[in-house]
Amino acid sequence: MNGQSEPGPERLRIVIADDQAAVREGLVALLGMLPGVDVVGAAANGEEAIKLVATERPDAILLDLHMPVLDGIQATRRLATQYPDVAVVVLTTYDDDESILAALQAGARSYLTKDASRADIAAALRTATAGLAVLDPAIQARLLAAASARPEQAPATTLPDDLPDGLTRREAEILGMMTRGMTNPRIAAQLYLSTHTVKSHINRIFAKTGSADREAAIRYARDHGFA
């Protein structure tokens, strides 16, 4: 034996991005107390987060999804492209299927909800930095359920080439399903979304089409060629 101690794990350098000052400052204090973790910057939106990553070159970034200027999904997509060695770990209050899938497809390595413990967050950051994925157990169960579900397939919606009134392709698809009498739960099952997410889409459809209710939205859809 040479009397030298074994080297400890490398220090983990992280950036935190959350638009809520109290949450952001709390995470900085919470994670800054962890052994082997250095919080090298904190950002209030996705644009600031990317600038911090560019200057600090951290090992990982802990990122909220819904932020001003540039949201977490867009920020994740840019980070995955420009700084692929930086592990993106999402920490958010949103656990709907659409947010989860969008974040993972954009390049996030891990997805946690804000009730995760400090130990869970630290473990997710270290595991993501090693190139592996960590999902909140509830998120994992939701994805497995969605993957194994085999809902009755409804006919595909035929969409106009040019969508009117600023409708997105997803909103137009849901509007077409509404014209076929599909309920919110059935639309959710068909598209692997939560019913809450479907309801949010429908509310935006009402606003964009000037529809007071579902019946008015269906009339709008038929007038504009949604089959």
Residues 198, 132 within the same domain: no
Regarding whether 114 and 214 lie in a shared domain, the answer is no
Domain tally, the chain: 2
Residue type, 10: E
131 and 23 in a single domain? The answer is: yes
Residue 65 and residue 37 in one domain: yes
Residue 195 belongs to a domain: yes
Q: Which residue's entry shows tokens 């993106």?
A: 88
Quick: pLDDT tens for 96-141.
767 888 888 889 988 988 888 888 898 889 999 988 877 776 666 6
Alpha helices by DSSP H, listed for 83-213, are 97-106, 118-129, 137-148, 169-179, 184-191, 195-209
Sign of CA dihedral 5, 6, 7, 12: negative
- Tell me: pLDDT of 224 over 70: yes
Q: Is residue 142 part of a domain?
A: yes
Q: Residue 169 maps to which CATH number?
A: 1.10.10.10
Final residue of a domain: which of 93, 119, 146? 146
Select from 54, 45, 105, 111 the least CA-distant residue to 79.
54
* Residue range of the domain that includes 79: 12-146
Residue 179: count of CB within 10 angstroms of its CB = 16
State what percent of residues in the chain have pLDDT above 70. 84
- The pLDDT value recorded for residue 64 is 94
Strands (E), the chain: 12-17, 37-43, 60-63, 87-92, 110-113, 134-135
The pTM assigned to this predicted structure is 0.61
Closest CA to 203 of 180, 178, 182: 178
Residue 57 is which amino acid? R
Are the CB atoms for 14 and 38 separated by under 8 Å?
Answer: yes
In a domain, 158, yes or no: no
